[in-house]
Structure formats: C-alpha cells, structure tokens
Amino acid sequence: MPARILNGIPIRDQIYAELKQEIAALSGAGIRPGLAAVLVGENPASQIYVRSKIAACELLGLGSWMHTPPASITTDELLALVAQLNARDEVDGILVQLPLPPHVDTKRVLEAVDPAKDVDGFHPVNLGRLVSGRAGLVACTPAGCIEILRRSAIPIEGANAVVVGRSDIVGKPMALLLMHANATVTICHSKTRDLPQTVRRADIVIAAIGRAAMIEPDWVRPGAAVIDVGINRITDAAEAQRIFAKFPAKLAQFHEKSSVLVGDVHPAVAEVAGAMTPVPGGVGPLTIAMLMSNTVKAARLRRAQSASNNMKGNMPGAAAAQP
C-alpha cells in the first residue's frame, strides 16, 4: 500500500489561519510584528527564497523590510547594518539570508543578531535555550518537521527516531526537538557504521544529509514515517534515469526542463513507508510558516519582556536600588 503523502501546504495554511488570529489580537493592542530581511548580492536562489518570505509577510499583514547590500559589502559594514536593525523597535525579526559571500564572516554576523530577534533560531543563545528546554526561537525547518508530525497524528512519544544529518541548522536542533517530545533519538551522518541498518530500526526517519535520493527503499522499515528535508536539483541525465526509472512523469519533467528536484529520499521509498513528505511541497512550505510564527512569537516575547522591565522599574525602591 503506498505511503500516505504528508502534504505541507494544507498544514501551512492551518498555521497561517492561527497566526492571522494572533496577529489580529496583537494589532488590537497596537502591535504590528515586523520582519527585516538582509539579502547580500544577487544569488538567484536566495532572491527567490527572500521574495517568498516577504510575500508571506504581506499575506499575513506583518511589517516587512528588505535590505539588499552589494556582494562587495565587508563584514564590518554588514555588522553595522545588523546593529541598526537590532536598535529599531518596530523590527521584531531579523533574517540574514545565507549563504553570505565567502569574504564575509558568517558566524560573526549571525551572532551579532539580537537573540530576541533571531527568527532563524541560529544564535548560540537560542540553541542553548533549545538544549535546556527553555522558551526561545527555534530553527524553522526542524520546527516545521515537528508540526508535520503532530498535525498528521504521527506519534512521537516513545517512537524510535533517526535523524540522518548533523548540521547546526537542521540535524542537531531536530534531534533536540524530538527528544523534548519524548522520542528515542539516534543521529546519523556520513561516518555512521551500517547506516542502512540503523535507519531501518526507525519509526520516524528525518532525512537531512543533502545527498540526492540517498535513503533507499530497503533502508526503511515498512510503515515508518519519513520526513524528507532535502531538496536537490538533478541536471545529469544518467542520474535522472537512475533515480526516476520507474517514474515516467518525473523523467518527462527532466527532459522538458533539463532539471528536476528530488529530496534526500529515493521516491520509491513511498512504496514502503507508511507516511512520507513529497519534494517539493512537503517540508518547504512549513519552513516559511515557522519563520512567520517565529516573527509573531518574537514580537510577543519582546513586548512581554519590555512590560516586565517597566514593571520592575516602577516598583517602590527600584530607583534607589540602581547603581
């Protein structure tokens, strides 16, 4: 029996409907959450990603600002731009689109973002909060994977989950979120011994290793839930033929466009798995939805912290206690 397809688009639409209610409530309190995007240079893929994020802001009624410095920008100049955005109160979220040019110190730039505005969830402070199970801003793609599982009624608690990939952006935070949801988690990577056998034990497989169609059908336990985070563009005819030999529609798409998208999971896994995300249209829509969710969350948390600070400042004796 073919796998149940876990389409990300209706799940994204559910989240957007919930966010619109929350945004309306914030608007009633005079708050309009806002996202500032920084797009360095003219990388076509990055331009598409950022435009889609700004379009999502407009759809939901969020404020949005787009900064497009040239590829020649220095690390110090980019740090100065981030500092300006940190200081702007109407900006609740700051998105620095990756990759940055090779001469820019990416880590310095990402760590310069105010953790309270780090809607990508990349800052070490937010990663530390995730490790300790404290409230914070969580990386968007792993958070989206959790939403797919929960909203598709796939049990996480007690499940054996295998995460294939150990990146700071997906693999590590994904493993932490699954552990916090009471799964038993194994993290695999390119050096894992007998990777297929390890994956085969999983009730839930998260594929995020960045290799086209790497997870084969005989790697997957029948009935397992498979979340495919990968998105790889195939441009080689022999590779397309190898992967899509039994999928004529995909081969026809390749011959028409000279390229085709595939995840880290071989499409034939759908014949074995109990549930599986498609590529495209699975995890991708949820990544943007969780970015929007983080922007709204950042607005709420920042205003709550500001109100708390004001209350402390107005308490009797507060002024005398200050140095």
Burial of 255 (0-12, 13-18, 19+ CB in 10 A): exposed
Coil, strand or helix: which one is 225? strand
Regarding whether 155 and 119 lie in a shared domain, the answer is no
Query: pLDDT truncated to tens, each residue of the chain (323 aa)?
Result: 799 999 999 999 999 999 999 999 999 999 999 999 999 999 998 999 999 999 999 999 999 999 999 999 999 999 999 999 999 999 999 999 999 999 999 999 999 999 999 999 999 999 999 999 988 899 999 999 999 999 999 999 999 999 999 999 999 999 999 999 999 999 999 899 999 999 999 999 999 999 999 999 999 999 999 999 999 999 999 999 999 999 999 999 999 999 999 999 999 999 999 999 999 999 999 999 999 999 999 999 988 876 666 656 665 555 444 43
* Rounded Cα distance, 76 and 13, in Å: 39
* Rounded Cα distance, 182 and 134, in Å: 16
For residue 247, being part of any structural domain is answered with: yes
Regarding whether 275 and 150 lie in a shared domain, the answer is yes
Regarding whether 161 and 116 lie in a shared domain, the answer is no
Please give the DSSP secondary-structure letter assigned to residue 2.
Answer: P
Would you say 33 and 296 are in contact if contact means Cβ atoms under 8 Å apart?
A: yes
Catalytic residue among 120, 203, 228, 264: 120
Regarding whether 164 and 117 lie in a shared domain, the answer is no
Regarding whether 274 and 161 lie in a shared domain, the answer is yes
Which residue range(s) make up the domain with 116? Answer: 27-123
Coil, strand or helix: which one is 163? strand
Regarding whether 245 and 161 lie in a shared domain, the answer is yes
64 strand-pairing partners: 35
Regarding whether 148 and 117 lie in a shared domain, the answer is no
Regarding whether 119 and 161 lie in a shared domain, the answer is no
CATH code of the domain in which 99 resides: 3.40.50.10860
For residue 293, being part of any structural domain is answered with: no
Residue 63, pLDDT score: 97
Regarding whether 108 and 216 lie in a shared domain, the answer is no
Residue 317, pLDDT score: 58
Rounded to 5°, angle at Cα 32 from 30 and 33: 140
Count helices and strands in the chain by DSSP H and E runs:
12, 11
For residue 192, being part of any structural domain is answered with: yes
Q: How many CB atoms are located within 10 Å of the residue 105 CB?
A: 15
Task: Identify each DSSP E strand in 6-74 by its residue range.
Answer: 34-38, 63-67
CATH code of the domain in which 206 resides: 3.40.50.720
Residue 309, pLDDT score: 66
Regarding whether 31 and 146 lie in a shared domain, the answer is no
Please give the DSSP secondary-structure letter assigned to residue 116.
Answer: G
Whether 191 is a known active-site residue: answer: no
Regarding whether 175 and 119 lie in a shared domain, the answer is no
Whether 53 is a known active-site residue: answer: yes
Taking the model in full, what pTM does it have? 0.92
Whether 107 is a known active-site residue: answer: no
Regarding whether 274 and 165 lie in a shared domain, the answer is yes
* Rounded Cα distance, 220 and 202, in Å: 8
Residue among 162, 220, 166 at smallest CA distance from 191: 166
Catalytic residue among 53, 117, 250, 297: 53
* Rounded Cα distance, 268 and 260, in Å: 16
